[in-house]
Structure 1
Amino acid sequence: MPGEEYELFYFDRDEWKSLGKKTAEGFDITYDVPANAVLWLRNLTKGKEEQIFICRDGRQLFNADLGAARLELNLNSF
């Protein structure tokens, strides 16, 4: 929302890292983000925290947008 302050984070290995705070001048905010990053936007003005999301083809995709998937974890990676 215009006039509200936001902070965007991305997840890197085991922690959230800030990409900076910005005040919205309109209904869009632009950030340069790492490729394939998991992102989390916080509205600092209202204290509202959004769902985590990813970007694909310039669109925000939330977990509800991704649908069901089968996930197999290789426990040797942890």
Structure 2
Amino acid sequence: MEPTTIDITNILFLTMIGLYLVLLGLILTYVYYDAELRGLNGWVIAGLAFFSGTILGTIVWLVLRPKLKPQPIPIRS
């Protein structure tokens, strides 16, 4: 068995996979917190975004998400 050598192609491949996973985590985290902020279950929405293709699911969420209700600002007198 030949020992595995570290090659530039291996490093680039692992870097691309790492960047993809970080970007995937950031996108799904945003979708989760945005859904929670709008009063929906974040796990369900993030799961739907993930399983429908992350980019396509996120675009669908951004287009079809409910409007934010304005929050009243408390005034002290």
Q: Same fold (TM over 0.5)?
A: no
Which is bigger in relative contact order (C-alpha 8 A, separation at least 6)?
A: 1
TM-score category of the 2 structures, normalised to the smaller one: under 0.3
Larger Rg: 2
Which one has the bigger helix percentage? 2
Structure richer in strand, relative to its length = 1
Normalising by structure 2, report the TM-score: 0.28
TM-score by length of 1: 0.27
